[in-house]
């Protein structure tokens, strides 16, 4: 705390991981040697820089941007870029720290990183977003490379923003090496990458339910958020026979007890991705209730998939979900559940999956995008989806391996220990630096 004042999100993430690791480290004291833990919580490099750009009215705007290169023990730094007014050093350090364990869990050779800016793409023209992305890359490009650091999308950074940044990267580096993932399909993108985080979260929820001799088929699900992760979580839930009854955004939530249909999802995707409007409009156009300022957790469901942002599911929300009989909570977002809410779920024996396990499908397919780029090949949709599904099963198995106590699995312990062991072994083998 003394070293990193005013970094509550980073402290929260470190506390969660260390609380899980402590009993394991006491039984495996070699992991307490060579300053391993203090090296693990310190980013290898954190870059902060100014981004100045000219808006459509000819005025100069200045934003702040960052790239946190957290840990490269098992591969190049890898993690998304977030554009949101709330972005600061604490949030990006927490995300980069989490990313390190998540990437280790995917079984692919990727280190952990994260970046972003307090730039808000909402309400900006395409030309403004392009100028901002280009201005950001004027600094960021020198820190990236296919074997150094490979960014991707996150909140506020979708196909449009990745395209503008990847284009500028190519221009400045005079190289066509693909140093972003989540690229468009015409310039090195992978099929299934847009779907991967949402699909993977639902595959993971299904694995947890099956392990407990249940299934998603016929269950009712609440999803929060309405962006990339939420959209494809909804699609996969429907494909697996579950009924999704909520979505949300930063202003409120929509409740639809009849459940999503493919036509409604198509309308939501068009509204969010093309019209760039709010879900309040979606609710009006479909005669649905829009609850201003509310989260979706008061709606009775079997499964909850928080897919919006950090700390969007707190203790009172967890208590309400538990009271209403929730069986499974799988995080599509990063750290959406506060620490006390996580404890409440685990205490109530709800199947709870931390994001670093359940939302790892996105970065896993980013890893597959890197492989395809290196091979100069494009794999068909079915092949990428099958690999994604297999990776999610592997992550589940690994969580069971490190988190099972009798018939029960503590997925929080499982994910944290499994991710840690891989990174820690790699760090120990490569010496102190
Ligand atoms: P998008 O920008 O596509 O969507 C974000 C969604 O979350 C929007 O519905 C947004 O609402 C909502 N949201 C953002 N901030 C808040 C807030 N403060 N309170 C309530 N709702 C909010 O982002 P993604 O879907 O890509 O990311 C969602 C989460 O998933 C993040 O935690 C991200 O880190 C995580 N994630 C994403 C991966 C990916 O592949 N994209 C991979 C792994 C994790 P509004 O439109 O009002 O802003």
Question: Which ligand 1 atom is the nearest neighbour of the CA of 332?
Answer: 30
The ligand 1 site (C-beta within 6 Å) comprises 153-156, 197, 225-230, 249-251, 307-309, 312, 332-334, 359, 362
pLDDT for 1 equals: 66
pLDDT for 3 equals: 84
pLDDT for 429 equals: 97
pLDDT for 409 equals: 97
pLDDT in tens, 355-370: 999 999 999 999 999 9
Mean pLDDT of the chain: 97
Question: Which ligand 1 atom is the nearest neighbour of the CA of 366?
Answer: 40
Q: Is 93 assigned a catalytic role?
A: no
Q: Give the Cβ contact number of residue 270 at 10 Å.
A: 12
Residue 7 is labelled as binding a ligand: no
For 29, residues 6+ apart whose C-beta sits below 8 A from its C-beta are none
Tell me if 81 sits within 8 A of 151, measured CB to CB: yes
Helix (H, G, I), strand (E, B) or coil at 114: strand
CA of 404 to the centre of ligand 1 (A): 31
Residue 228 is labelled as binding a ligand: yes
CA of 186 to the centre of ligand 1 (A): 25
* Of 98, 50, 28, residue with least CA distance to 333: 98
CA of 227 to the centre of ligand 1 (A): 6
Residue carrying the six token digits 């449009």: 160
Rounded CA-CA distance 132/300 in Å is: 42
Q: ipTM > 0.95?
A: yes
Buried b (16+ CB within 10 A) or exposed e, 399-416: bbebbeeeeebbbbbbbb
Buried b (16+ CB within 10 A) or exposed e, 50-78: ebebeeeeeeebebebbbbbbbbbbbbbb
pLDDT for 376 equals: 95
Rounded CA-CA distance 245/234 in Å is: 9
Nearest CA, atom 40, ligand 1: 362
Question: Which ligand 1 atom is the nearest neighbour of the CA of 95?
Answer: 34
Which residue is catalytic, options 114, 124, 236, 356?
Answer: 114
| Cα Rg of the chain (Å, integer) | 21
The angle, 0 to 180 degrees and rounded to 10, between the axes of the packed helices 89-105 and 8-27 is 40
pLDDT for 159 equals: 95
Rounded CA-CA distance 72/106 in Å is: 15
pLDDT for 2 equals: 77
Q: Which residues of the chain have pLDDT under 70?
A: 1
Residue 99 is labelled as binding a ligand: yes
CA of 156 to the centre of ligand 1 (A): 7
Residue carrying the six token digits 């996150």: 154
Residue 197 is labelled as binding a ligand: yes
List the end-to-end C-alpha distance of the chain, in Å, as a whole number. 24
pLDDT for 178 equals: 86
Question: Which ligand 1 atom is the nearest neighbour of the CA of 158?
Answer: 3
* Of 154, 155, 190, 150, residue with least CA distance to 166: 150
């Amino acid at each position: 705390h003394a070293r990193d004042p005013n970094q509550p999100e980073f402290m929260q993430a470190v506390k969660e991981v260390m609380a899980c690791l402590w009993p394991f480290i006491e039984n495996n004291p070699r992991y307490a040697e060579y300053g391993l833990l203090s090296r693990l919580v310190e980013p290898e490099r954190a870059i902060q820089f100014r981004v100045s750009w000219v808006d459509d009215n000819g005025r100069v705007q200045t934003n702040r941007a960052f790239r946190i290169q957290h840990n490269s023990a098992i591969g190049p730094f890898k993690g998304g870029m977030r554009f949101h007014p709330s972005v600061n050093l604490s949030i990006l350090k927490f995300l980069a720290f989490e990313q390190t364990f998540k990437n280790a869990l995917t079984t692919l050779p990727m280190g952990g990183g994260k970046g972003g800016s307090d730039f808000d793409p909402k309400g900006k023209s395409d030309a403004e977003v392009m100028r901002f992305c280009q201005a950001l890359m004027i600094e960021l490009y020198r820190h990236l490379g296919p074997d150094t650091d490979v960014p991707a999308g996150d909140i506020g950074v979708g196909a449009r923003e990745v395209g503008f940044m990847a284009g500028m990267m190519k221009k400045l580096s005079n190289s066509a090496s693909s140093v972003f993932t989540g690229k468009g399909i015409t310039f090195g993108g992978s099929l299934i990458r847009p779907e991967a985080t949402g699909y993977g979260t639902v595959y993971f929820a299904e694995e947890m339910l099956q392990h407990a001799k249940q299934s998603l088929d016929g269950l009712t699900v609440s999803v929060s958020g309405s962006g990339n992760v939420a959209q494809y979580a909804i699609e996969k839930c429907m494909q697996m026979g579950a009924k999704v009854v909520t979505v949300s955004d930063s202003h409120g939530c929509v409740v639809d007890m009849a459940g999503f249909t493919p036509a409604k999802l198509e309308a939501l995707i068009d509204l969010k991705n093309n019209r760039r409007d709010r879900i309040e409009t979606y609710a009006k156009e479909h005669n649905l209730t829009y609850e201003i300022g509310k989260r979706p957790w008061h709606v009775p469901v079997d499964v909850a998939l928080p897919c919006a942002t950090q700390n969007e599911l707190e203790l009172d929300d967890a208590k309400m979900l538990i009271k209403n009989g929730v069986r499974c909570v799988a995080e599509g977002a990063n750290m959406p559940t506060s620490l006390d809410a996580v404890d409440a779920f685990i205490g109530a024996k709800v199947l709870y999956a931390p994001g670093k396990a359940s939302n790892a499908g996105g970065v896993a397919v980013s890893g597959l995008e890197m492989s395809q780029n290196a091979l100069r090949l494009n794999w068909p949709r079915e092949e990428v989806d099958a690999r994604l599904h297999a990776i999610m099963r592997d992550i589940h198995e690994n969580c069971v391996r490190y988190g099972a106590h009798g018939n029960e699995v503590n997925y929080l312990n499982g994910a944290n220990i499994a991710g840690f062991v891989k990174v820690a072994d790699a760090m120990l083998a490569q010496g102190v630096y």
